[in-house]
Structure 1
């Protein structure tokens, strides 16, 4: 049952990353993330939903090839309060640009309060 909840929350986050409508994105981020979420990404660390929103706006939607699309590529693996999932970022034409794994921590009421993005493959 936990994995279903975690998959729903992760999918809300992924949908928020793909949504260009700012109001819809805010709604999805509010459903998926705690207000004080800690967001670790390849560009640094941010705190709060606004930091996640800024990353989506600047990096995901601000890509030089145009707004890309984030796709969850694996099931959500959820041992306890932590979960991980694989993803792929595609160009507007569907070409793969980057892939990786996100690790998220969920609160008892099902909000993501920590996100760690691992972009690229380990060698």
Structure 2
């Protein structure tokens, strides 16, 4: 898909879920974060990351609170760096964890599985470059 080509409905639903997840990661308001996660994630979402595996929205919220929100540099944010590539029910996207000065702290690629209802029910985080 080129930048001027409109997204297919399925791709748009995937991008909406991914963007709500990223907005939740960037929210320092716990109530807003929980609301965004409830819009983006299935209740039993499975989260696979470099620090292990978690199940459920609470596990994802705990990860965001412990890792993303409390990162030592403070003021960092998660930024989607690519379009959401969604051939069917799976999607992938690039991201970077950005310092307040715009520098990259960490980058990677996530894969998500999206249900027919548009909820992410599995997230696989790949942090760092491929070698």
What secondary structure is seen at the aligned counterpart in 2 of 1:65?
A: coil
Q: Which residue matches 1:89?
A: 97
**Could you tell me how far 1:54 is from its partner in structure 2?**
0.5
Task: Say which one has the larger Rg.
Answer: 2
Equivalent pairs, count: 123
Counterpart for residue 27 of structure 1: 35
| Local SS of the residue matching 1:6 | helix
Q: After the TM superposition, list the runs of 4 or more consecutive aligned residues in structure 1 that deviate by more than 6 angstroms.
A: none
What secondary structure does 2:109 align onto?
strand
Q: Any conservation in 2 of the 1:60–1:67 contact (CA below 8 Å)?
A: no
1:39 shift after superposition: 0.1
Partner of residue 7, structure 1: 15
Q: How much has 1:80 moved relative to structure 2?
A: 0.6
**2:84 pairs with 1:76:** yes
Tell me, which stretches of 5 or more residues in structure 2 are unaligned?
1-8
Answer yes or no: is 1:64 the counterpart of 2:69.
Answer: no
Instruction: Name the counterpart of 1:107.
Output: 115
- Structure 1 residue 92 displacement after superposition: 2.6
What is the aligned-residue RMSD (CA, Å)? 0.7
TM-score (norm 1): 0.97
Report the TM-score when normalising by structure 2: 0.92
